[in-house]
Amino acid sequence: MAIVRVAALKDFRTNALSTSYVSTGYNLGPLTAAQRLVGFFHLTCSSTGRTLVATIQDSSSSGFTTLSTAFTFGLSSEIGSTWPAPVAMSTDRQWFRATWTMSTAASTGGSWKGLMGMGIQ
Amino acid sequence: MSTQVLTNAQIVMGGYNLSSDFNQIALTETFDMLDATCFGQTNRIYKAGLSRIRMTGGGFVQDGSGLVGTVLYNDVGIEDEVVSVWPDTITEGVFTGGGYAFKAVAARYTPLAGGVGELLKFTVEAESRGVV
């Protein structure tokens, strides 16, 4: 395992997320055929009983008209961190962004803090 | 990129943003050097073996729920935490001047260190978990 140089896709350690959102798309690729995409997620504050679904999406265009979900993170109600198995991807995928969806089941929204990012290994 | 003064490094371990608790940080990647020297050689010959990543850091102890002393005390020996270290304020969407991350186990924690009249200090080391 080599060290991975990473870029943040969304830093919300200070300003909590409280609504569903899609981050800015960033041109951080493409990967070569031999490389793999790494995604990681630090969840530093969560709301008990609510649900957060966070993903990293990739696309060949800045408009994300055709997109794939590279990672879906499993942390939602308990603080911690996760680093799913790195994935290979097509060499035309160079745009990346973070997304998150909050639970709407509760009458009042939750709030989450953390840091989501990616690297190329 | 010009030289940088380390004034606002960001350290995130697992589910805790510990940036403001550290006052020193170092991140090192090393490879075992395997001696591959055979008869007839006039110099040592080495091959790169297995790699390891180590984060070392320290700061001043604060104890209490969610504070660095308690977090690291409970953290040592826990596997598969993500450690990310950034040299300065995090800018989204860039690798340049960005951070480094690895999957780690907090391998060593010294919760009490210092001399007479000094603030109580801690040091912590995290090693790469080796599985990605």
Q: Where are the domains of chain B?
A: 10-26+55-128
**With an 8 Å Cβ cutoff, is A50 touching chain B?**
no
Mean pLDDT over residues A41-68, rounded? 89
Which residues 6+ apart lie within 8 Å of B118 measured at CB?
none
Mean pLDDT over residues A8-16, rounded? 93
Taking the C-alpha atoms of residue B92 and residue A76, their distance in angstroms, rounded to an integer, is 22
Among all residues of chain A, which has the CA nearest to that of B101? A4
**With an 8 Å Cβ cutoff, is A88 touching chain B?**
no
pLDDT band at A2 (very low <50, low <70, confident <90, very high): confident
pLDDT at residue B98, rounded to an integer: 80
Q: Which amino acid is at B98?
A: G
Q: Spell out the alpha helix ranges (H) of chain B.
A: 68-75
pLDDT at residue B1, rounded to an integer: 66
B14 chain-A contacts, CB cut-off 8 A? 42, 79-81
Kindly report the pTM of this predicted structure. 0.91
**Residue that the structure tokens 């609504």 belong to:** A19
Which one is predicted more confidently, B87 or A2?
A: B87
User: What are B12-30's pLDDT values in tens digits?
Assistant: 999 999 999 999 999 999 9
Q: How many angstroms separate the CA of residue A106 from the nearest CA in chain B? A: 24
Give residue B25's Cα distance to chain centre. Answer: 7
Among all residues of chain A, which has the CA nearest to that of B95? A7
Mean pLDDT over residues B44-72, rounded? 94
pLDDT at residue A112, rounded to an integer: 85
**Dihedral angle computed from the Cα positions of residues A92, B97, A44 and A119, in that order, rounded to the nearest 10 degrees:** 30
User: What are B105-131's pLDDT values in tens digits?
Assistant: 988 999 999 999 999 999 999 999 876
Taking the C-alpha atoms of residue B24 and residue B33, their distance in angstroms, rounded to an integer, is 28
Taking the C-alpha atoms of residue B61 and residue B74, their distance in angstroms, rounded to an integer, is 14
Is residue A60 left, alpha or beta, with left meaning phi > 0 and alpha meaning psi from -120 to 50?
alpha
**Dihedral angle computed from the Cα positions of residues A19, A86, A77 and B60, in that order, rounded to the nearest 10 degrees:** -100
Whether residues A115 and B101 touch (CB distance < 8 A) is answered with no
Taking the C-alpha atoms of residue A50 and residue B102, their distance in angstroms, rounded to an integer, is 28
Asked if the A6-120 domain carries CATH number 2.60.120.1110, the reply is: yes
Report helix, strand or coil for A54.
strand
How wide is the angle at C-alpha A56 spanned by C-alphas B80 and A92, nearest 5°?
Answer: 115
pLDDT at residue A44, rounded to an integer: 93
Q: Where are the domains of chain A?
A: 6-120
> Is the model's pLDDT at A76 over the cut of 90?
no
The contacts found for B50-53 with CB under 8 angstroms, 24 or more apart, are B51/A1, B51/A2, B51/B128, B52/B127, B52/B128, B52/B130, B53/A1, B53/A2, B53/A3, B53/B27, B53/B28, B53/B29, B53/B102, B53/B104, B53/B127, B53/B128
Residue B29's alpha-carbon distances to A42, A45, A53, A60, A61, in angstroms, are 22, 30, 33, 33, 35
